[in-house]
Amino acid sequence: MLFAAAARLIAAEAQRYGLIAPSFRSPPRIVGVDRTVRRHEHGGVVAVVVRHRPFVAVIADMIEGVVVVNRLVAPEADQVRTGLWAMAEMADLLTGDVPLDHAPRVA
C-alpha cells in the first residue's frame, strides 16, 4: 500500500513539473536487478524491488526513474530530483509513515 501511495505522489509531482509521469510497478520482470526502466512513445514504466529493501532506496529508484523516462540532463535533472526529494520528505515517504488518504489520486 505504501508503494502505491508513493507512486501516486511522485507521479503527481512529476506532472506538476510538466513532465511525463511514468507508471510504477513492482517487482521488475528481470530477476536480480533492483530497478528497470522501459520507455515508450508516451511515457514509460519504472519497476522496482520493494521487498527486503529500505523504503528510501525504493523512493530513490522511483525518482531516478522519472528522470530517466523524461531523458532529463543537468541542470533540469538536478532541479527535478531536488523537488521530488523535498516532496517525498514533506509527505513522510522517507520514514514510511505516509497516511494512505494523504496521497492524491492520479489517473
The predicted-structure confidence for 65-104, as pLDDT tens digits, reads as follows: 999 999 999 999 999 999 999 999 998 887 765 444 444 4
| Sequence spans of domains, the chain | 2-98
Contacts of 24 (CB under 8 A, 6+ apart): 3, 6, 7, 10, 11, 45, 46, 47, 48, 62, 65
Predicted pLDDT of residue 107: 43
Whole-number Å distance between alpha carbons of 51 and 73: 30
Mean pLDDT of 39-59: 94
97 membership: H or E segment, kind and range: none
The predicted pLDDT at position 102 comes to 46
Q: Would you say residue 45 has pLDDT above 60?
A: yes
> What does residue 70 show for φ and ψ, rounded to 5 degrees?
-90, 0
46, β-bridge pairs? 24, 37
The per-residue pLDDT for range 2-33, each reduced to its tens digit, is 899 999 999 999 999 999 999 999 999 999 99
